[in-house]
Structure 1
Amino acid sequence: MGALSPWHMILIAVVLLLLFGPNKLPELGRGFGKMFREFKDATNGNAAASAEEKRESIEAPKAELVSPSEPTAPSVNK
């Protein structure tokens, strides 16, 4: 069995129209759209936060090596 054909989608639309009515369908569509947007934002936010944490953990040791707490004078070998 393959993907949904246009006839399957028409049948699903008719059943939804009969179950919920023409006034309720746009409200349901907006609700599903909002739900998917919030889910997408939450998953992208978590991915961005974890990437930022990784970047900070990598940059933190480099910052310590670049800026020592006390400057040292060059040693002169005699």
Structure 2
Amino acid sequence: MFSPWQAGIVVLIALVIFGPSRLPEIGKALGKGIREFKSSATGEEAKQTEQTMTNVTEQPKELPSKSDTTKQ
């Protein structure tokens, strides 16, 4: 694939083209895209949706005390 020298040159070119302020945004967007692609390829998204739907009907573990909600 890539040697460390080639990867370094690619990063250096990206730094010159996009600037240091945009590189973290580009990295986050690229990582999010890869995660979404992997989850859609493996079908994990359907599992997460099912889990979320079952948690909707559960009651909260703790209710806030009355003193917290009626501060005077």
Which TM class, normalised by the smaller chain length? 0.5 to 0.7
Question: SS of the residue aligned with 1:4?
Answer: coil
Q: 1:4 Cα shift?
A: 1.9
Encode CA deviations 1:37-59: one digit per residue, 9 max, x unaligned: 1111111118x89xxxxxxxxxx
The structure number with the bigger radius of gyration is: 1
Structure 1 runs of 4+ aligned residues shifted over 6 Å read none
1:15 & 1:5 partners in 2: Cα distance? 16
- 1:2-13 matches, cutoff 5 A: 3-13=1-11
Residue number among 29, 34, 41 corresponding to 2:32 in the alignment? 34
TM-score by length of 2: 0.56
Q: 1:34 Cα shift?
A: 0.4
Structure 2 equivalent of residue 68 of structure 1:
none
1:33 & 1:4 partners in 2: Cα distance? 19
Structure 2 equivalent of residue 43 of structure 1:
41
2:16 & 2:42 partners in 1: Cα distance? 37
Q: 1:7 Cα shift?
A: 1.4
TM-score by length of 1: 0.52
Matched residues, percent identical? Answer: 41
